Amino acid sequence: MTESPFLRDVPAAQARTAWRAACAAAGCPPRLPAVTVSLEDAVGRVTAVPVWATRSSPPFDAAGMDGIAVRAADTVGAGETTPVHLGPDDYDVVDTGDPLPAGRDAVVMREHVHDVEGVAELRAAVPPYGHVRSIGEDVSAAELLLPEGHRLRPFDVAAAAAAGATQLSVRRRPVVVVLPTGDEVRPVGSATGPGEILDTNSLMLAAQARELGCEARCLPIEPDDPGRITAAARAAVAGADLLILVAGSSAGRDDHTGRVVAEAGVLAVHGVAVRPGHPVVLGAIDGTPVLGAPGYPVSAALTFEIFAAPLLAELEGAAPRRRPRTRARLARKLASPVGMDDWVRVRLGRVGGTVVATPLPRGAGVLTSLVRADGLLVVPAGLEGHHPGEEVDVELLRGLDEVERTIVVIGSHDLVLDLAASALRAADPGITLASSNVGSLGGLVAVRDGLCHLAGSHLLDPDTGAYTLPYVDRILAGHDVAVVRLVHRDQGLLVARGNPLAVSGIDDLARPDLRYVNRQRGAGTRVLLDAELRRREIRSDEVAGYQREEHTHLAVAAAVAAGRADCGLGILAAARPFGLDFVPVAREPYDLVVGAGALDDPLLAPLWALLDSADFRAAVGALGGYSTEEMGRRIR
Amino acid sequence: MTESPFLRDVPAAQARTAWRAACAAAGCPPRLPAVTVSLEDAVGRVTAVPVWATRSSPPFDAAGMDGIAVRAADTVGAGETTPVHLGPDDYDVVDTGDPLPAGRDAVVMREHVHDVEGVAELRAAVPPYGHVRSIGEDVSAAELLLPEGHRLRPFDVAAAAAAGATQLSVRRRPVVVVLPTGDEVRPVGSATGPGEILDTNSLMLAAQARELGCEARCLPIEPDDPGRITAAARAAVAGADLLILVAGSSAGRDDHTGRVVAEAGVLAVHGVAVRPGHPVVLGAIDGTPVLGAPGYPVSAALTFEIFAAPLLAELEGAAPRRRPRTRARLARKLASPVGMDDWVRVRLGRVGGTVVATPLPRGAGVLTSLVRADGLLVVPAGLEGHHPGEEVDVELLRGLDEVERTIVVIGSHDLVLDLAASALRAADPGITLASSNVGSLGGLVAVRDGLCHLAGSHLLDPDTGAYTLPYVDRILAGHDVAVVRLVHRDQGLLVARGNPLAVSGIDDLARPDLRYVNRQRGAGTRVLLDAELRRREIRSDEVAGYQREEHTHLAVAAAVAAGRADCGLGILAAARPFGLDFVPVAREPYDLVVGAGALDDPLLAPLWALLDSADFRAAVGALGGYSTEEMGRRIR
């Protein structure tokens, strides 16, 4: 292997240019070959040559109305008091679309003809070519109908048919082959052992390619053996227009891919100034472009968008498809690494007339950040980030109309909100309830800053024993907010089934043999824990695991179920699906704090109706650990 | 047949509601049944039930970095001058993604570990759970991953796989059956006789349905025989979730469809306050919704969008897909019928920093108006139209990024512009050159009003014999414009092959046996004709057919070729494809008038480069009747 020079850590645009140049030098064809397909199969494909009309449409002068065809000159002088009469030889009855009979040059609407025993009486003259659809009105033979490089839509193909086409010359569909690698990677559907992960990337990348109209094929997973990967890659490129080599999940596995590409072909770029997606590899093997995608799923998905999608469009000779964009106000400060384009997933919602963007978790492994995202915000390499409230440009992952029908909930996490989201959607597919879990305190701040319609909150004031309202008074003083009770719910310690360590309550948390798993700062459950500890004069550093923070009840339950912790404070509804035992600590109210104006916003009406419905209350009851007695009651 | 009441000429929203109610009453299922499909097949489909995670991802606490896994407590006190040393039993080497070994609760990055003969030296303490990806960081078991009614994207399906799904419950694809009718309608690909038209509607409607993810099937064309249509419709609904009955092209054919639907099932709506698309029929037969689409292609296409698309989304339980929108400045006055939603096709381009919308021809038969459209502008029923320059809301048919890379040409029509459009696109699929043919004079006015980058112009000043510049002085006085020569071209009389009527020149136009076909007012060719007539003192009313106006050279040629006229003034390049003969009249310059700022706009740079290219000049020369000697020369 001879080390040839390649680019490292360059901006995405430079990487794309270098890749394109390397592909050209390696003999990759710039465009896919043209193929002739039926009109039916042409929709969605890209024209390989311009489409010129070979037939005019309509192919004849035609009546534009139902009525009679006449010679306009015969009607000159006709008026209300001076009607003109045309005998049966001087007109023809025509329907819309009928060819204009020879010798006729105008049509009179049926409604304007008085038929007197076969003689047509006209009370107005008609201009020549009145109500006549000229030959070629739609398209004229020899006219350029569609340029080369045009992605065909249904009406394009229909117009081509009307203009005489019976088949069309389009680019062949690009063939994308995905080659997953990694010792620890198992096919989707397998049982995974410790340290093993599922190959969700191949499924996703192939689907992304198919979404762009490509044929896509996934190869079996290759272990981390450079010889085997090289052989598999060499075999794969023969039938591919783009080979995507997916690295395993470890850092440094891209070095692997880089070496394989350099050895089997030409390595153009290794590492781009993009986050996530930095360890991307770009090159070519045997005249086929190769993209080395990182193993982290968000990196893999974005790498496809940033590098594969433009290449595939270019192979088809078409403009790359771009998502629509919108302007949005950033919900909070966003720090970003200088020197890298930072692709931030955001939730969007229209609150108080402004579209607000709330950044989602940024880890390259958090695929749900893409699932829950409504848009992508790119912080360019030259920027250190954005201030809260700054207006930013967001690429839309969902339609803006869907965004506008989204109830934005920021605050504490509760399963009842998930249940409500499902129920609202089932009743009206246009409605979304999107909740971001930042804890109760964060929710109240979001309401204050106009970033959400609602905040779920269950904040205990240790001094008074009252919930939420004291915090509303403090944080939302002077703001016009309402508070609506959602549920009462049981909080307790989640412990392994059978409670093997015999945890009896908060007092036990000082036991050195117990590993606790905590919630993040600002979470109501954390506030509850701290109050309970203070009441018992237990210091936080006496609680082993106090520093381990999870962001949801379910994450706490998962940690306990996996044996990574012995107990954690959470709700009964989170214990159940994991088969955990539950040691009750408190019954607390969980409320919705409603931002100014949102209470009467028609967008939220279906939610209030839902809280009144017996079916929904029954469904909440079935979760366990909830009382719905006060559901929907306005407490402020 | 019993006449039951139905709605007539109601607004679209009311029509949809009435249709939905009628369908429900007729026993049409509100949702399609759920089917279980593989993850691969689930992309693009709509979830029939919520997707809950059954597995956490990652399924274990994992190293977030390559390095060593330690017990955080063992590192307390480590600092630059007080290193902590861990023996081989006190740490494990881990790669990113590896499960955290039992007893370890933090990871130290490889770069921060000094390995001294198997003893790891740390110069900083690490916090518990530092560089650890918690179990469930991405998704936690029992978490709601996706709601019901969600259209699955590639990363949704990958996340579902990571969360334990191996298949998904989605709605069955809707089946759309298209039944074309009409005595005059012939299958696409047939030779058509006089009065016959091609069935492009079935092709288009089926493609529109497939674009929405439906299965679509087209039935054979039924003649205008109510009995046969009724029998075919009854047979078709058995296997359909939506039947589209396409009427023939005549006005009044919808009455036909209305009767068929009323007789075979229930007629809910006949006629909506929408233009084009007014004669729509909505009803149900045997528990299947039926849409009667008008035969005019633009009406048929829009009817699908306005009525079929929302119904199909509802059957899938998903939000209807909506196109992105933009604000645009209207190029000219737009009059609109009160009482009807008016769907106007517009071209869009960014000129001088503003997106400008230019309305296209509005005839329901002009399918190319949809092909050439970049957007749809709906003038609501309550409005009489819009003033020129008014800001309007436009639904985008092309991406805004494509619109922004569109060179907008308004003015005279010339085939060289078509050729340039094709050549620019072939070189860079992102570029569009869009020309609207309004004649030379209209082009200069468009430049003046900032509605286009360029105007094609060839206006003869009869007093001086000079071309274009005198008009520029008059219309664009005080405007900073440039004028660039495109070509010289031959104008002449287009006559049937062999010149059977022995037309020798303009003098002959006064011959009573000659039928002339004219160009529209403001066209340079019309100005040329008028000047030639004046010079000979021939009055326009002496020219038979002077009133018949066509908008392009090709349309004139088509009229002559079809025998509807005997001659018309036009360019040689238009005569050739129709096999017409050409009687030369004049050689004239054809110039591009370039709006303020557009000359140096990077968007236009590829056009200027093209005019310099020998290949392009050769291609223009091959059209015939052009001289490219001065191509690209700036004459002002």
Residues of chain A with Cβ-Cβ distance to B65 below 8 Å are 251
pLDDT in tens, A102-141: 889 899 988 888 887 889 999 888 888 888 888 888 898 8
**ipTM for this prediction:** 0.92
Per-residue model confidence as pLDDT tens digits over A188-234 = 989 888 888 899 999 999 999 999 999 999 999 999 899 999 999 99
Q: Name which of B379, B381, B298 is nearest B339 in CA terms.
A: B381
Residue-wise pLDDT for B8-46, tens only, equals 889 999 999 999 999 999 999 999 999 999 999 999 999
Structure tokens that stand for B175 in this block: 């089946």
How much is the pLDDT for A195?
Answer: 83
Residue of A nearest to B298 (CA): A155
Write the DSSP symbol of residue B576: G
> In angstroms, how far is the first alpha carbon of chain B from the final one?
74
Per-residue pLDDT reduced to its tens digit, B429-460: 899 999 888 889 999 999 999 989 999 999 99
Looking at residue B321, what is its pLDDT? Answer: 86
CB B579 within 8 A of CB B497: yes
Q: How far is B37 from chain A (nearest CA, A)?
A: 14
Backbone angles phi, psi at A390, to 5 degrees: -65, 145
Distance separating alpha carbons of residues A53 and A146, to the nearest angstrom: 9
> Cβ neighbours of residue A134 under 8 Å, at least 6 residues apart?
A61, B550, B555, B559, B564
Q: Is the pLDDT of residue B3 over 60?
A: no
- Give Dmax over CA atoms of chain A in angstroms: 112
For residue B359 the two structure tokens come to 């309305």
Tokens representing residue B248 in the block: 């023939």
Report the residue of B61, B98, B155, B250 to disrupt the A interface, i.e. the one with the largest count of A CBs within 10 Å.
B155
Q: Of B228, B202, B206, whose CA–CA distance to B215 is shortest?
A: B206
Count of residues in chain B? 636
- State the pLDDT at residue B250: 64
Q: Do B147 and A564 touch (CB under 8 A)?
A: no
Sort out which chain A residues have CB atoms less than 8 A from B574's CB and list them. Answer: 142
Cis omega before residue B154 (within 30°)? Answer: no
Q: Which residues of A touch B137 (CB under 8 A)?
A: 363, 365-366, 555
- pLDDT per position as a tens digit, B249-304: 666 666 788 999 999 999 999 999 999 988 899 999 999 999 999 999 999 999 99
Query: Closest by alpha carbon to A480, among A470, A492, A489, A472?
Result: A472
Task: Specify burial of residue A233 (Cβ count, 10 A radius: 0-12, 13-18, 19+).
Answer: buried
What's the maximum distance between 2 C-alpha atoms anywhere in chain B? Answer: 112
Tell me how close the Cα of A282 comes to any Cα of chain B, in angstroms. Answer: 22
* pLDDT of B278: 86
Which pLDDT does position B364 carry in this prediction?
86
Q: Which of B97, B188, B552 sits opposite A166 (nearest CB)?
A: B188
Which of A55, A129, A69 has its CA nearest to residue A98? Answer: A69
Residue written as tokens 């029923």?
A: B381
The minimal CB distance from B135 to the residues A184, A201, A562 is found for: A562
- For B135, the closest of A143, A184, A559 (CB atoms) is A559
Among B137, B157, B252, beta carbon nearest to A365: B137
Which residues make beta-bridge pairs with B455?
B593
The pLDDT-based confidence of B77 (bands split at 50, 70, 90) is confident
Distance CA A289, CA A80 (A): 77
Residue A72 has pLDDT above 70, yes or no: yes
Percent of chain A with pLDDT over 90: 74
Helix (H, G, I), strand (E, B), or coil: what is residue B549? Answer: strand
Classify residue B89 by burial, with Cβ atoms within 10 Å: 0-12, 13-18, 19+.
exposed
Mean pLDDT rounded to a whole number for chain A = 92
Q: What is the mean pLDDT of chain B?
A: 92
The answer to whether B418 contacts A143, with C-beta atoms less than 8 Å apart, is: yes
Tell me what pLDDT residue A570 has.
96
CB contact under 8 A, A367 and B162: yes
pLDDT at A612 over 60: yes
For residues B572 and B579, the answer to whether their CB atoms sit within 8 Å is no
In chain B, which residue's Cα lies nearest the Cα of A426?
B148
Say which residue the tokens 């360029």 belong to. B454
| The pLDDT of residue A628 is above 70 | yes
At A4, is the pLDDT very low, low, confident or very high (cuts 50, 70, 90)?
low
Rg (CA), chain B: 34
The tens digit of pLDDT for each residue in B389-407 reads 899 999 999 988 899 999 9
HEC letters along B55-82: CCECCCCEECCCEEEECHHHHCCCCCCC
Is B1 buried (19+), middle (13-18) or exposed (0-12) by CB count in 10 A? exposed
pLDDT digits (tens, 9 = 90+) for A254-283: 678 899 999 999 999 999 999 998 889 999
Mean pLDDT for B69-97 is 89
For residue A2, pLDDT beyond 50: no
Phi, psi (degrees; rounded to nearest 5) at B376 = -120, 130
Question: What is the mean predicted confidence (pLDDT) over A415-443?
Answer: 91
Identify the weakest region by mean pLDDT among A180-184, A483-487, B210-214, B607-611.
A180-184
Distance (Å) of CA B173 to CA A430, B313, B324: 19, 10, 24
Rounded-to-integer distance, Cα B205 and Cα B207, Å? 5
List of chain B residues whose C-beta atoms are within 8 Å of the C-beta of residue A155? 204, 297, 301, 367, 370-371
Taking an 8 Å cut-off on Cβ atoms, the answer to whether B250 and A96 are in contact is: yes
Compute CA distances A209 → A32, A218, A315, B186, whole Å. Answer: 16, 11, 13, 38
> Measured between alpha carbons, how far is A107 from A64 in angstroms, rounded to an integer?
8
Provide, as residue numbers in chain A, all residues whose Cβ is less than 8 Å from the Cβ of B128. 545, 547-548
Nearest CB among A66, A155, A559 relative to B252 is that of: A66
**Residue A494 confidence (pLDDT) above 80:** yes
A57 and B367: CB-CB below 8 Å? yes
Give the highest mean pLDDT range of A349-363, A550-564, B103-117, B169-183: B169-183
pLDDT band at A321 (very low <50, low <70, confident <90, very high): confident
**Local confidence band at B2 (pLDDT 50, 70, 90 cut-offs):** very low
How far, in Å, CA of A600 to CA of A604, rounded? 7
* DSSP character string of A485-542: EEEEEEEEEEE-TT-TT---SGGGGG-TTPPB-EEPTT-HHHHHHHHHHHHTT--GGG
Helix axes A253-264, A226-237, angle to 10 degrees: 50
Using alpha carbons only, give the angle A46, A49, A53 rounded to the nearest 5 degrees.
105
Beta bridge partners of B284: B266, B289
What domains are there in chain B, each with its CATH number? 7-31+173-316 (3.40.980.10), 34-57+138-171 (3.90.105.10), 62-133 (2.170.190.11), 440-627 (3.40.190.290)
Query: What is the number of other CB atoms lying within 10 angstroms of the CB of residue A207?
Result: 23
Position A73 scores a pLDDT of: 86
Q: Tokens 């609760």 map to which residue? A: B105
Distance in angstroms between the alpha carbons of the first and the last residue of chain A: 74
